[in-house]
């Protein structure tokens, strides 16, 4: 009996003396850079590197921040963009975020007569929490931090965003970029050919662009000749590597038809969505079904943030190109979307699109028909859906 008692005591002591597993602990957050200068007369995009110091394993699988708080001259805007980085043990991590400060907010600050300063704050957690902050100064365009506030993309010869051409046509794209500050613009023209579109685009580079920019202004970049030798649908994009963009890169779409292909007929004024059901739940690979628009060269399927507050989506007044420009401010900011050819009337939600949706969030689903000149000729009524 005494032997059993001693064994029991030994086991208990071993449990008491065994070191407890290290718990999660974000010990500090530092922003790099921690101060930016904003141009007073136009929107500015800034790229922030959040450096999160940690000790111990995360209880949630990584470091996350659900939203950020932007304050400019007393006006507060919630940036509903979640950040997350998986972690191993007690490693420190870096999360890069590109934030766009809209022109409307800066103009309001100027008119208020208050201090031309602001802050952006994020709270990070891995079970424990810590806060990081960035400071802003509003100044003239020449003294602003290097950034891009607007990027529009059109075809060079007809100023459209979607077009239909015959085989072996001559075709180029043009990008117009509005920038602040001084720095080296680094970008690449990219093309996705008919073998990879739609829904599973694989882009390959056409040409690199490097341009030294100074001050506060606009620059125009013209693409190399675009391929037109193979029938089918193409996507064109200008991928900007530096400075970072705080918005989706616009894309152009063009379709090459074989010789003698018939012209399309006139389009109806609206598109009816048969699936998913209104207020229904989307799932990865969910089927989206709509009525045909005879004049459509391409369909654009978009998911939009509902407009809960006038300032909830600071990108809304920037008009960055095809996607944002065609959505009225009352309908909110496009979160993600994809294209389908004009012959399609249904599509499965692509995995890449699904990856950009936030769990528990409601969105507005809208389908737009675009003709060969880039004009939206028909669209569906925005329909609320849920991403579980």
Residue 280 lies in a domain: yes
On whether both 202 and 281 belong to a single domain, the answer is no
Instruction: Pick the last residue of a domain from 234, 257, 280.
Output: 257
On whether both 243 and 291 belong to a single domain, the answer is no
**Does the structure show a pLDDT above 80 at 176?**
yes
d(CA 271, CA 296): 11
Residues 6 or more apart from 224 whose CB is under 8 A from it? 172, 189, 206, 207
On whether both 245 and 283 belong to a single domain, the answer is no
Q: Which domain holds residue 172?
A: 147-257
On whether both 277 and 368 belong to a single domain, the answer is yes
Residue 20 lies in a domain: no
Three-class secondary structure assignment of 63-129: EEECCEEEEECCEEEEECCCEEEECCCCCCEEEEEEEEECHHHHHHHHHHCCCCEEEEEEEEECCCE
- What are residue 338's DSSP bridge partners? 301
Instruction: Pick the last residue of a domain from 224, 257, 290.
Output: 257
Residue 200 lies in a domain: yes
Q: In what order do the strands lie in the sheet with 346-348?
A: 273-275, 287-290, 346-348
Instruction: Pick the last residue of a domain from 117, 143, 169.
Output: 143
Q: What is the dihedral angle through the alpha carbons of 12, 16, 17, 21, rounded to the nearest 10 degrees?
A: 130
Mean pLDDT of 174-188: 83
| H helices, E strands: number in the chain | 4, 27
The closest of 44, 27, 217 to 132, measured between CA atoms, is: 27
**Does the structure show a pLDDT above 70 at 307?**
no
The closest of 305, 179, 325 to 252, measured between CA atoms, is: 325
Q: DSSP readout, 3-30?
A: HHHHHHHHHHHHHHHSPPPPPP-EEEEE
Mean pLDDT over the full length of the chain: 76
pLDDT tens-digit profile of 17-59? 444 444 557 888 988 888 888 877 667 778 888 898 887 766 7
On whether both 275 and 378 belong to a single domain, the answer is yes
Predicted confidence band at 120 (pLDDT cuts at 50, 70, 90)? very high
CATH number at residue 209: 2.60.40.10
Regarding predicted confidence, which is higher, 301 or 323?
301
Predicted confidence band at 80 (pLDDT cuts at 50, 70, 90)? confident
Residue 263 lies in a domain: no
The helix (H) or strand (E) run that includes residue 180 is strand 173-180
d(CA 87, CA 64): 10
CATH number at residue 36: 2.60.40.3880
The closest of 384, 149, 141, 184 to 281, measured between CA atoms, is: 384
Separation of first and last alpha carbons in the chain: 58
On whether both 64 and 122 belong to a single domain, the answer is yes
Q: Which residue has the tokens 């900011």?
A: 333
Residue 312 lies in a domain: yes
Q: Is the separation of the CB atoms in 82 and 123 below 8 Å?
A: no
Is pTM beyond 0.85? Reply is no
Whole-number pLDDT of residue 312:
30
On whether both 359 and 281 belong to a single domain, the answer is yes
**Does the structure show a pLDDT above 60 at 140?**
yes
Residue 19 lies in a domain: no
Whole-number pLDDT of residue 123:
93
Residue 37 lies in a domain: yes
Regarding predicted confidence, which is higher, 281 or 42?
281
Total number of domains in the chain:
3
Residue 82 lies in a domain: yes
Mean pLDDT of 308-319: 32
């Amino acid at each position: 009996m005494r032997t059993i008692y001693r064994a029991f005591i030994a086991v208990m002591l071993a449990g008491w003396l065994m070191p407890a597993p290290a718990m999660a602990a974000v010990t500090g957050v530092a922003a790099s850079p921690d101060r930016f200068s904003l141009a007073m007369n136009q929107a500015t995009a800034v790229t922030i590197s959040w450096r999160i110091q940690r000790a111990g394993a995360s209880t949630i699988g990584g470091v996350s921040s659900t939203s950020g708080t932007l304050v400019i001259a007393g006006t507060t805007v919630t940036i509903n963009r979640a950040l997350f980085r998986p972690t191993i043990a007690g490693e420190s991590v870096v999360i890069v975020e590109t934030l766009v400060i809209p022109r409307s907010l800066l103009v309001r600050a100027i008119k208020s007569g208050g201090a031309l300063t602001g802050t952006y704050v994020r709270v990070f957690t891995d079970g424990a929490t810590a806060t990081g902050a960035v400071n802003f100064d509003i100044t003239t365009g020449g003294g602003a931090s290097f950034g891009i506030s607007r990027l529009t993309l059109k075809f060079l010869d007809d100023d459209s965003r979607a077009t239909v051409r015959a085989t072996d046509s001559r075709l180029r794209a043009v990008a117009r970029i509005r920038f602040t500050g001084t720095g080296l613009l680094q970008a690449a023209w990219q093309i996705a050919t008919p073998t990879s579109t739609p829904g599973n685009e694989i882009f390959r580079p056409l040409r690199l662009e490097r341009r030294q920019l100074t001050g506060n202004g606009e620059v125009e970049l013209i693409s190399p000749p675009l391929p037109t030798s193979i029938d089918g649908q193409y996507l064109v994009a200008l991928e900007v590597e530096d400075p970072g963009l705080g918005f989706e890169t616009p894309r152009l779409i063009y379709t090459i038809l074989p010789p003698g292909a018939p012209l399309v007929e006139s389009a109806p004024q609206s598109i009816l969505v048969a699936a998913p059901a209104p207020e229904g739940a989307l799932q990865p690979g969910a089927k989206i079904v709509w009525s045909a628009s005879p004049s459509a060269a391409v369909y654009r399927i978009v998911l939009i943030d509902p407009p809960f507050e006038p300032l909830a989506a600071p990108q809304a007044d920037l008009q960055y190109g095809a996607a944002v420009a065609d959505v009225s401010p009352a309908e909110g900011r496009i979160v993600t979307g994809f294209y389908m050819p004009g012959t399609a009337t249904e599509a499965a939600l692509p995995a890449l699109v699904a990856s950009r949706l936030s769990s528990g969030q409601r969105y507005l689903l809208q389908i737009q028909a675009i003709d060969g000149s880039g004009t939206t000729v028909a669209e569906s009524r925005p329909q609320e859906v849920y991403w579980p």
